């Protein structure tokens, strides 16, 4: 009964034009936690020995609190090493044609994965990338670091991608089962 009177009184004051501020008490769940971002990745070239274990089937991206991520799916690799070279370049040049492919952004990260975008035995495409074109199915709208992603080529057992970034930022490369991961930090 007491609650009903309080509600009626509050409604009467509000109708009368008297400003009444009601605030909810703070709860523990409303507290925010600061995100700690990894440091020490650096921007120097990174590579692992070439390996010949499978074909590239997909390239996808994701947004994280501290970095943007690009994932290269190579299903038959399992836990074996996937070879790669990842480094900053002044221009993205298609291998082996030598054609310059424009990539938007303040910096370009060239990613070469030791996995062809085709089946080496049948030569059937396993990934639908086309030289000089954006990566199929990759939409970088809303990303903090990624600006553009272009397919270079798949030649002699490797696949080449140009990743346009906001600026030259630190990055890391690591492998999970059946995939290679490239993370680029939002800040230094």
Give per-residue pLDDT as tens, 85-141. Answer: 999 999 999 999 999 999 999 999 999 999 999 999 999 999 999 999 999 999 999
Q: How far is the C-alpha of 97 from the C-alpha of 45, rounded, in Å?
A: 23
Instruction: Decide if pLDDT at 3 tops 50.
Output: no
Confidence of residue 143 (pLDDT cuts 50, 70, 90): very high
Question: Residue ranges of the domains in the chain?
Answer: 46-185
**Pick from 82, 85, 106, 104: nearest CA to 149:** 104
For every residue of 12-78, DSSP letters joined together read: HHHHTT------PPP-GGG---PPPPP----SS-EEE---------EEEEEE-SSEEEEEEE-GGGT
Looking at CATH, the fold of the domain delimited by 46-185 is given as Immunoglobulin-like (2.60.40)
Q: How far is the C-alpha of 85 from the C-alpha of 89, rounded, in Å?
A: 12
Confidence of residue 34 (pLDDT cuts 50, 70, 90): confident
Residue corresponding to tokens 């000089």 = 132
- 17-28 residue pLDDT tens: 444 444 444 444
């Amino acid at each position: 009964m007491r609650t009903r009177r309080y509600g009626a009184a509050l409604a009467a004051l509000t109708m009368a034009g008297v400003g009444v501020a009601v605030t909810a008490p703070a709860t523990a769940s409303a507290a925010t936690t600061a995100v700690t971002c990894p440091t020490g990745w650096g921007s120097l070239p990174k590579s692992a020995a070439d390996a010949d274990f499978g074909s590239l089937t997909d390239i996808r991206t994701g947004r994280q609190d501290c970095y943007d991520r690009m994932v290269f799916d190579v299903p038959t690799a399992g836990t074996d090493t996937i070879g790669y070279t990842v480094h900053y370049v002044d221009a993205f040049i298609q291998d082996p044609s030598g054609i310059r492919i424009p990539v938007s952004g303040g910096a370009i990260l060239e990613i070469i994965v030791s996995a062809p975008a085709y089946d080496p035995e049948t030569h059937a495409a396993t990934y639908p990338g086309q030289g000089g074109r954006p990566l199929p199915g990759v939409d970088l709208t809303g990303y903090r670091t990624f600006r553009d992603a272009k397919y270079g080529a798949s030649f002699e057992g490797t696949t080449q991608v140009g990743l346009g970034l906001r600026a030259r930022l630190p990055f890391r490369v690591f492998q999970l089962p059946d995939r290679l991961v490239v993370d680029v930090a939002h800040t230094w």
